[in-house]
Amino acid sequence: MIVVSVMYPASADAKFDMKYYLERHVPLVGERWGSMGLREAKVLQGVGAPGGGVAPYQVMALLTFDSAVAFEQAVAQHGKEILRDIANFTNVQPIIQVNDVLV
């Protein structure tokens, strides 16, 4: 099991259409990758930092896949379509990384 984290930075001029993201983009990810090893998709919204600061990331998606190989195949097949859809809801580039689950 791996977790792919997709983190959208917050910034003064960052736009993020949460309605499109939740109603169109997240379902698109589920439709394309649900049969390719995607086990779970969790979406977090940054609301603050300890001590009253601003959350550095406005949105974080955590995608659990069966394996790194399954994720690579999912990206090879539908990655372009899913990445291209990002411009429909935000003007920021997400930081994406692949993670092993230790605990």
Size of the site for its own copies (CB under 8 A): 33
* Residue 62 contacts residue 5 (beta carbons within 8 Å): yes
Start-to-end CA distance of the chain, whole Å, equals 12
| The only residue of 42, 67, 69, 93 in contact with its own copies, by rule CB under 8 A | 42
From candidates 28, 36, 62, 82, binder to its own copies by CB under 8 A? 62
Taking the least distance from each CB to its own copies, the nearer of 70 and 75 is 75
Nearer to its own copies, 11 or 42 (CB): 42
CA 15 to CA 91: how far, in whole Å? 6
For 100, the token pair is: 């092993």
Candidates 17, 23, 31, 45; binder of its own copies (CB under 8 A) is: 45
Residues in the chain: 103
Question: Which of helix, strand or coil describes residue 54?
Answer: coil
Residue nearer to its own copies on the CB measure, 35 or 48: 48
CB 91, min distance to its own copies, A: 20
